[in-house]
Amino acid sequence: MAADKFEVLKRYFGYSSFRNGQEELVDALLAGQDVLGIMPTGAGKSLCYQIPAIMMKGIALVISPLISLMKDQVNALVQQGVSAAYLNRSLTEAQYNKALANAANGKYKIIYVAPERLESSSFLRFALNAEISMIAVDEAHCVSQWGQDFRPSYLNIDSFISKLNLHPVIGAFTATATEEVKDDIIRLLNLNDPLKVTTGFDRPNLFFSVLRPQNNSSKLLELIKERNGQSGIIYCSTRKKVEEVCDLLNRNRISATRYHAGLKDDERVRNQDDFVYDRRDVMVATNAFGMGIDKSDVRFVIHYNMPKNIESYYQEAGRAGRDGVDADCILLYAKADVNTCKYFIENIEDNEDLSQEQKDFFRQREEERLKQMVFYCTMSDCLRGFMLRYFGDKHKDYCGKCSNCLTEFETVDVTVEAQKILSCIIRTGQNYGVKMITDVLRGVSTDKITRARLDRQSTFGIMKNVKAAEIKYLIEKLEEQEYIISVGAEKPILRVTEMSYPVLRGNSSVKICKARKLRSIVSKSERHHVDPELFDALKVVRTYFAKKKGVPAFVIFSDATLADMCRIMPTTEAEFLSVSGVGANKLEKYGEAFLNVIRKYKPDKNGTAPFAMDADRLNYFAYSDKPISVSEITFRINDLNKDQNCKKLKATDITEWLLENEFLKAATINGKNYKLPTPKGKELGMTSETRINDDGNWYKIVLYNRAAQGFIIDNINRIICGRIE
């Protein structure tokens, strides 16, 4: 057992100092005091219980809601030299019994367990005979019915703890919690006079943007192509939309997969692993994906649809940039999303444990949360400041890292336009939605308008020279300022409020704030401050070890650690230990391989560096419109690399990777061995062709069309990761 918390911090986790709030929580747990830690995603909550767990006598149980979190954190701990395991339904019965037996024999210091597992008789027998020194409850807000992710199984945690022979110290941790949820956590987990630490909710490395595109699909493609090769998550409101967006990305040669509750368990697990292990760049998902995902190198989170509340949005957006490197959080806002959220609220599944009064209060609370979400999407003030104030944090009015702070706004008087719109709503009987009102104002003679005789109204065509999008935007603004309300969720109709009549009489004016110019919606990634060629070379080494160990790449080293290597350029073991995120265990496992690369990238670049291509250089690849062979592709790639000291790529490197990923298959024809396209490879754009050589003998060759060439280029650094010795 290590005696010093700083020694444990450096030896196992590679850090020389604690972040804000961590040391207080560690000290309290080591002293036997219960704690409640409210810390934003990426602030290092896990260290607050992992360090005491390593230092304490006995076993620490970490209660966590999702399998993915357990796998990621256990993988990371094992790589750092900490004995850890998880117990959940992903294990077979034999695997579970073996892990439980190992736990009973004291093999593990930290055991991750799902809350449902606490009710298992076999697990309870183990717990009653084990020396459990600490219980850490992750995602503790799940215990509260007023939280955004209530899980009934969390209500059984206190009952489980009360059955233990010795009462362990308890730590509860979450990223988002209102005062009401905090009180619930303390009460329902029966925390005894806990130390409460709230470090604040700000994530300075996140760049927040709200966009209102005319076409979400084209804007999404534009945003992702600007972030080519980066890891990202796209959230959609429905399963159907997830399928549509994932298909859109794949049709446009973007490496994407999907996740929602409608998929079979094995496909969800496979798709999640493809994303976590970097076999796919983009995950398209509903909110069923992500809570507890420990993938630290997510560079962007895009909400294709607006979430139903700020709590959900901040938690989902917070899955970007967990490694501390700059990342983008972009929300594509459309008025239709508001109606979708209203529909979900109105059709929320009843909780039989609540009274009717509580149910009504819950729906009212959800409606108010939705109202705040809409306000976030439509206001012109600082986005970061609004969210921090929502969670009770103070913040200045200008952050400089959100789309509103970087947008020039102007105030426009739209009283005349408002009078026309309000008058049209009244004169048509306050029985129609946005599209019908817009068509009447523009003078569009549809069958529906003609049948309703709305073409005879005095407001018909009074805004015929105004674009439909502009009228719809004005209607949104009038609704935001409460001159108009939408009634109904499925097919909402517009009605005016009492505030409208002074405007119609000319006694009140209407002004709106319009964006004139948006200077930027893209964060300036920390990678731009380091040598991109060295960064890519280090990523190749990292991917090699990740593949060899069977763990996600970020478990080996995070992007932030690689960037620190690029800045420090260590060439000795002592210098390598000074890199943030490098501890003694990882130095021993990986130090020499990374140091060899860095040494070769010193200014003189002596020796032979591993082949690696940065994204900018790959932009100059000479695509062929006619199908070409893998040898020709290899020649064109090597032609981009002017450094004679670099190893050259071989055609067999590409072929072997395609075989491993089932784009090619081995086949024997007339005694000759070939690698031929699988159905998966053919779909990609690979074909086989029979040719005759100079001796009159036939042979088969695989050809790659432009799309297949692009796929090779997109994955080139993954292809070469297995070539490192």
Q: Which residue has the higher pLDDT, 623 or 603?
A: 623
Both structure tokens of 327: 């990342």
Identify the bridge partners of residue 468 per DSSP, sorted by sequence position.
none
366: closest CA among 287, 286, 312? 312
Q: What is the DSSP letter of 402?
A: B
The phi and psi torsions of 137 (rounded to 5 degrees) equal -105, 105
Cα–Cα distance for residue pair 76/78, rounded to 1 Å: 6
Give the start-to-end residue ranges of the domains of the chain: 5-198, 206-406, 416-518, 526-600, 615-723
Report whether 447 contacts 456 (CB < 8 A): no
Question: What would the mean pLDDT of 505-533 be, rounded to a whole number?
Answer: 70
Cα–Cα distance for residue pair 257/542, rounded to 1 Å: 23
Report whether 104 contacts 177 (CB < 8 A): no
Question: What would the mean pLDDT of 471-497 be, rounded to a whole number?
Answer: 87
Cα–Cα distance for residue pair 716/540, rounded to 1 Å: 10
- With a CB cutoff of 8 Å and minimum separation 6, the contacts of 379 are 386, 404
What is the DSSP annotation of 622-669? ---SS-EEHHHHHHHHHHH---TTSPPP-HHHHHHHHHHTTSEEEEEE
- Give the pLDDT score at 60: 94
- Give the pLDDT score at 668: 87
- Give the pLDDT score at 119: 84
Cα–Cα distance for residue pair 638/656, rounded to 1 Å: 18
Cα–Cα distance for residue pair 136/110, rounded to 1 Å: 10
Pairing of strands 206-211, 327-332: parallel
Q: Is 695 exposed, middle or buried (0-12, 13-18, 19+ CB in 10 A)?
A: exposed
CA torsion through residues 694, 695, 700, 701, sign:
negative
- Give the pLDDT score at 527: 46
Q: What is the CATH number of domain 5-198?
A: 3.40.50.300
Cα–Cα distance for residue pair 489/342, rounded to 1 Å: 6
Given a cut of 90, whether residue 702 has pLDDT beyond it is yes
Cα–Cα distance for residue pair 184/160, rounded to 1 Å: 18
pLDDT band at 519 (very low <50, low <70, confident <90, very high): low
51: closest CA among 87, 12, 106, 19? 12
Superfamily (CATH H level) for 206-406? P-loop containing nucleotide triphosphate hydrolases (3.40.50.300)
Superfamily (CATH H level) for 526-600? HRDC domain (1.10.150.80)
Question: What would the mean pLDDT of 309-316 be, rounded to a whole number?
Answer: 89
Distances (CA, A) of 6 to 18, 22, 52, 232, 314: 8, 12, 11, 34, 32
Give strand ranges (E) for 440-573.
484-487, 493-496, 511-518
Same CATH fold assignment for domains 5-198 and 206-406: yes
This model's pTM is above 0.75: no
- Give the pLDDT score at 245: 96
The phi and psi torsions of 611 (rounded to 5 degrees) equal -70, 130
Distances (CA, A) of 36 to 22, 59, 115, 153: 12, 20, 18, 19
- Give the pLDDT score at 480: 83
- Give the pLDDT score at 113: 92
pLDDT tens-digit map of 396-422: 788 888 999 888 888 889 999 999 999
List % helix, strand, coil for the chain (3-state, nearest 5): 45, 15, 40
Report whether 581 contacts 560 (CB < 8 A): yes
Least confident of 135-144, 589-598, 711-720: 711-720
Given a cut of 50, whether residue 1 has pLDDT beyond it is no
Cα–Cα distance for residue pair 458/423, rounded to 1 Å: 9
Phi and psi based region of residue 524 (left: phi greater than 0; alpha: psi -120 to 50; beta: remaining):
beta
pLDDT tens-digit map of 88-125: 877 888 888 898 899 888 899 999 998 988 888 889 99
pLDDT band at 236 (very low <50, low <70, confident <90, very high): very high
158: closest CA among 133, 189, 113? 189
What is the DSSP annotation of 179-226? HHHHHHHHHHTT-SS-EEEE--S--TTEEEEEE--S-HHHHHHHHHHH
Q: What is the DSSP letter of 687?
A: E
Report whether 232 contacts 299 (CB < 8 A): yes
- Give the pLDDT score at 721: 58
Report whether 555 contacts 79 (CB < 8 A): yes
pLDDT band at 287 (very low <50, low <70, confident <90, very high): confident
Provide the b/e sequence for 569-592 (b: ≥16 CB within 10 Å).
Answer: bbeeeeebbebbbbbbbbbeebbe
- Give the pLDDT score at 610: 47
pLDDT band at 604 (very low <50, low <70, confident <90, very high): very low
pLDDT tens-digit map of 126-139: 999 899 999 999 98
- Give the pLDDT score at 526: 45
Q: Cite the DSSP H helix spans in 109-149.
A: 121-129
Report whether 107 contacts 87 (CB < 8 A): no
Report whether 244 contacts 258 (CB < 8 A): no
Question: What would the mean pLDDT of 254-270 be, rounded to a whole number?
Answer: 89
Cα–Cα distance for residue pair 594/46, rounded to 1 Å: 27
Write the single-letter amino acid at 362.
F
- The class level of CATH for 416-518 reads mainly alpha
Element of type H or E holding 420: helix 415-427
Element of type H or E holding 301: strand 300-303
Q: Cite the DSSP H helix spans in 14-66.
A: 22-30, 45-55
Q: How many CA atoms lie within 13 A of 501 on its CB side?
A: 2
Cα–Cα distance for residue pair 147/141, rounded to 1 Å: 6
pLDDT band at 291 (very low <50, low <70, confident <90, very high): low
Report whether 560 contacts 580 (CB < 8 A): yes
273: closest CA among 518, 23, 72? 72
pLDDT tens-digit map of 539-555: 888 888 888 888 888 88
Q: Quick check: helix, strand or coil at residue 238? A: coil
Least confident of 196-210, 329-343, 706-720: 706-720
Q: What is the DSSP letter of 139?
A: S
Cα–Cα distance for residue pair 313/301, rounded to 1 Å: 10
Write the single-letter amino acid at 13.
F
Pairing of strands 300-303, 232-235: parallel
Cα–Cα distance for residue pair 536/698, rounded to 1 Å: 41
Least confident of 230-244, 474-488, 542-556, 638-652: 638-652
Cα–Cα distance for residue pair 659/662, rounded to 1 Å: 5
Q: For the chain, what is the mean pLDDT?
A: 86
Cα–Cα distance for residue pair 284/646, rounded to 1 Å: 37
pLDDT band at 614 (very low <50, low <70, confident <90, very high): low
